[in-house]
Structures are given as C-alpha cells and as structure tokens.
Amino acid sequence: MCGICGVCGFEDKSLIKRMNYVIRHRGPDDEGYFVDKDIMLGNRRLSIIDIKNGHQPVFNEDKSIVVVYNGEIYNFKEIKNDLEKRGHRFYTDTDTEVIVHSYEQYGDKFVNLFNGIFAFALWDAKNKKLVLARDRAGIKPLFYSSPDGNALLFGSEIKSVLQYEKIKREIDLESLHYLLNLRFIPKEKTMFKGIKKLLPGHILIYRNNKINVRKYWELRINIQDKPSDYYEKILKKTIESVIKRQMIADVPVAAYLSGGLDSSTIVAFASKFCDNLQTFCMGFGEPTDEFKDAEKIAGLFNTDHKELTVKFDIAKTMPETIWAIDTPKRNMWPYFISKEISKYVKVVLSGMGGDEVFGGYIYRYNFINEVERLRREKISKDEEINKKITEQINKGDIIDDHKLRDLYKIKYLNDNAGVYNLITLNNKLYSDEEYLRKVYGDKLLNQNLPVVKSLFEPYFKQNISFLDQTFLAEFNTKMVDDFLSVEDAASMAHSLESRVPFLDNELIDLCFNMPSNLKVQGDNGKIILKKVMKDILPKETINKKKWGFIPNTLTWYKKEFRDIALQKLPNGVLIKNNLIKKEFVMKILEHKPDEKLNMHYNFIWDLLCFEVWHKLYIENEPYKPKLDIDYLLA
C-alpha cells in the first residue's frame, strides 16, 4: 500500500519531490522516483508484500515499461504463474511487478485481469504513453489535472497535485452545492475546478497531449433466479476464499470488530487463517459503544482483542482531519480510529461494503416499501401536495423535516430517483428549490446549479426492480465518493492499509446476480448472509440492530460547535462571498438546540469545515499547512 504521483509533459525534479513528500504518510517505509525526458513518477511505500525487494518503481525486463502503484492485487500469484509460463522473467515476488508484465502481454486490456484494490501509473517508454487505472469499486483514489493542456499531473491525494503552482486554486461551486446536500462530491468532481478524480473501473491514457478516459468495468445486475440454498453454499465458499486471499501479507493482518454481523463474519473466517488474529473494537465513551458485543465474538474465535476508546476534541482536530482528506468533510471518525489501530498493525480488514452488497440499509428500504404501498393504494401526486409542501417550507427557515416526510413520499410517488434522493440527502430539504432560496446567497443561486436528483437518475432508468435500482445507486455514488474516500484517507493518513473483503471482485459479481428477495424482505435485510452465518455466529449477533459508528450530533453541537460557529461564521468566507445567507445561519444558531433539528446542526458543522478547508487550501500554501484551529478560523 502506497502513495503515487507523477507528471507527464515536462521535467522538474524539485516538483516531483514536493509531490511525493507531501504524501509521505501513505508510505513511510521507502520512496522511489523515475525521471526521464518529459516523464516523472514518484512513489511512497508502505511495505506489506516482499518487504526486502519491493522497492518502486518496478520495471519489465528491458526497463521500457515502468510502474508506480498503490494497493494490493490479491490474485497476483495466479497471474504471475501464467505470465512465467509465457516467458516473462520476474525479479521480485511483489504484486507490483505483475502489472508491467501483464501490460506487456495483453496491452490496454491488462487491467481486466486484476482482482484487488489499486491505483497505478504505468509509463510505456517505447510508445510514449502514460496509463493510469483505478480498481473496479473505487477503493483506492487517483486525482489528475491538465492545467494548460500540455501536461498531465496526477497523485493519490489532491494536495500532491496542488504542488504545481500553475494549477489554480479555484472553488468548484457545483461541488460545494453537492457537498452541502449529500456530504460528498460525486463522480469526477473535486472542490477544485481544475482537478478531477479518475472514476472507479476506468483507465486513462495520456499520449501526444491528449487524455482518453474509458470504462473497463461496470457493475451490472444480471439476476440468476436460483433457490436460496444454492446461493447459500456458493456464498459461504466465496466469503471464505475471499478472506483467505486478502490475508496474504508479510506483516500481521488484523480486523475491526464491532460485534455486528459484517465484522463478526470477517473475524469468523479470518481466524481460520491466523492463529492469533488481532481484533479491535472502537468506542467514544458513550452508551452506544459496542464493547460487550465485540467481546463476545472475540472470545468465541479466541482473538487477541483490544478495546480502544477514541477521545478527541473535534474542533481542535478538525484541521488535521480535513487536511487528511483534502475536502471539507466532517465524518472523519475513521481518522481517529485508524490513528489508534496503527499503533499495533499495518493492515486491517474492514467490513466496508457489506451493506451495499448484501442489502443492509433497512431504514432506506423501509421508506421505499412505504412509497410502493402508497402506489398500490393509488394515492396520486397533484398540485395540492406541492402547495402544502411550499406552505410548510414558507412557515419558517428552521424546519423539522419529519413533518414533511409523508408529503414528500407522495410528491415523489412516481419518481424512483426522487425517492432515493430524498432518503439519501444529508440535509433533507436543502435541495428543494423553494428552500434553497432561504439558504443560498445570490452567488450560489446564480450558478444554474444542477438538480441533485439528476445524479441518481441513470440508476433508476434500468428495467429492474426499484430495490435493485437502489442497490446500483448505493454502490456507485455514496459508497465510493463518501465511505471509501474517507476510509482510504483516514487509514493512509496513519500509514494503515485498510482491506475490504466484501468488495472483492468475485463477491461483487456473485451478490449482484442474486434475486433481491434473498437480501431484503420487509424489515429484514442481509437475509442471505444471516442464513450463511446462522450456525457460525450467535443468534444475537445475527439479529443485532444496525448502529452507525458516529457520535451524537446534538451533543457535539451544544458542547463545541455552536459557540465556535457564533464566533466565526457571521464573518466567514461563505457569508462574506454571498454563498450562504447570514440570516439563515443566525436563525439556526439562535434557536434553542433540539434533536429534531439535527439536519441544521449538520449543516453548521459543514460550514465550519468549509471555512477551515478554505484557509488550508485556498489561502495557504498546502505544502506546509498550519493546523491550528484558532489561526484557521481567525
């Protein structure tokens, strides 16, 4: 697991060293460079496989092909054996070297071979061609920019790309709009106009100053209507084989353990391949901590278990978490979790992706079921409903969105994308055009901003069930651009490799061929996984209610954020630049704190994060950041 960066189009050794140094946390064990005419590649290495011989960059036999790489290719041994039979000679036992020889053998189609988590850059010297690629699910990130059309810069993190002074630090206001509504920035976008993400399952080829991006893989739902017992047998074998191959490492591999179904499943199988598996349960010192549930599973599988309580001052640590992810996001609990776990191990197995592949978001599916019930009862959407919604919105700037929930169910009755948009939005009503006029300043309102719902519409046009459409949307949007982006940034900030077995290629293909009723029925989700694990895990673990790992918003609002916001937001960048209305912000801050208004407190939190981010990334030199909260919010 590493960090990579590079430039194609010119040479500047000082620049590539800055680009590499600023992501040194991703790979503290080693660094490497390749510099030739108009091409520079950099790598920071976290040594996991072939520790002694895995120095990067890695070359083919005649050194005409070179690669820098971030990630793990779990099927590299099988690929290596095949390539050796075809005459390729290897000088390391790393998964990295498989990349260059696969390219030699198969050309641009080589990336289809790889089952893993990866982002890499390959330079073909003979053809003067740079190839960038990212794994299918988007587990590992890759950002790029072509500021003047005559060069391409890329990096594992945005801060690396920003080391080039010709890249303008200009805010993408559409991205700000998405972030405030969804809590993530979707698809190719970033907070900077000139910097893009390479999308999951895509390959970028840069040659003759031209960028060509193409999709090499796309998630498709292809239902194979077979009985439950057929899928139960295959799923059990698949999970076991997936976890076995993801235990491959020359250093110890540990696992998160909350005591819930996903993490307990991983521990149950991982403990078969490790005599003294280390497990970690995290808590905040709150009643919702899951220590007892985790302790039960740890005892059952005889793991080396540790309970770690995460204690931090959110306001004071906000700058370092935002610096880690390059984006004004607040859900950085994994940052502090990774900080604690990294004191013990370099590699940890995460249950990330379990909800998306097995159908775990029951609170969303229940909302969908309620809408479908209303459809069956033939309750129609009409102008009277829209009028009532407008009346509710106009009653005041501070809204309890639960009062409008039933009205919105009817408004979106015949619009699947609209329903999904409603249950996914971070701030439920801020994307409503009527409400935005109360929230946004003229500078944002005059931007012809996209309708947030349009992001989800492609997934709801396919001729599959509403539930299967939802599975597609979950996998392709929030999972990759919110959960996985935070998981990577948080873990790599502390030189910790987070592996995600439930997003293995083989498991994804299997789970999205299953009929949806094997995953979700009524109020019950993850049905197929529960059946597989019913004789392996305790009944209470199987039936444990899903609990998000996050502190209480109202508690932190009253404890820290309200006072800071009252001091800083009225004269902050967002209000001064007419992006957010001051009156709206002040009405929230002056209102008596109430649990029902958490969406507004989340919004205040988001605004504070943006103010810190702006100081770090727009006003300051991001090479040597000042991470003092008082300075950043001065």
**What residues contact 101, with CB distance under 8 A and at least 6 apart?**
60, 80, 83, 88, 90
- Alpha carbon distances (Å) from 544 to 234, 260, 547: 24, 6, 9
How far, in Å, CA of 426 to CA of 477, rounded? 13
- Alpha carbon distances (Å) from 484 to 209, 356, 365, 489, 576: 31, 12, 22, 9, 33
CB-based contact 111:73 (threshold 8 Å) = no
Strand order in the sheet with 65-73: 58-59, 65-73, 116-124, 129-134, 202-207, 210-215
How far, in Å, CA of 468 to CA of 221, rounded? 8
How far, in Å, CA of 44 to CA of 18, rounded? 12
Question: DSSP secondary structure string, 249-316?
Answer: -SS-EEEE--SSHHHHHHHHHHGGG-TT-EEEEEE-SSTT--HHHHHHHHHHTT-EEEEEE----HHH
Q: How many CB atoms lie within 10 A of CB 479?
A: 23
E strand spans, 74-115 = none
**What residues contact 592, with CB distance under 8 A and at least 6 apart?**
none
What tokens does 437 get?
A: 């006029």
3-state secondary structure of 473: helix
How far, in Å, CA of 193 to CA of 337, rounded? 32
What tokens does 546 get?
A: 């899903």
Amino acid letter, 174:
E
Q: Write the DSSP symbol of residue 36.
A: E
Q: How many CB atoms lie within 10 A of CB 87?
A: 10
How far, in Å, CA of 476 to CA of 353, rounded? 11
Instruction: Write out the catalytic residue numbers.
Output: 2
Q: Considering only CA atoms, give the Rg of the chain.
A: 24
C-alpha angle 208/187/27, rounded to 5°? 75
How far, in Å, CA of 160 to CA of 18, rounded? 8
What tokens does 342 get?
A: 């990294």
- Helix H or strand E segment including 445: helix 442-445
**What residues contact 105, with CB distance under 8 A and at least 6 apart?**
83, 86, 88
- Alpha carbon distances (Å) from 299 to 265, 303, 306, 308: 14, 7, 12, 17
CB-based contact 11:55 (threshold 8 Å) = no
How far, in Å, CA of 617 to CA of 159, rounded? 8
What tokens does 580 get?
A: 């957010």
3-state secondary structure of 504: coil
CB-based contact 174:189 (threshold 8 Å) = yes
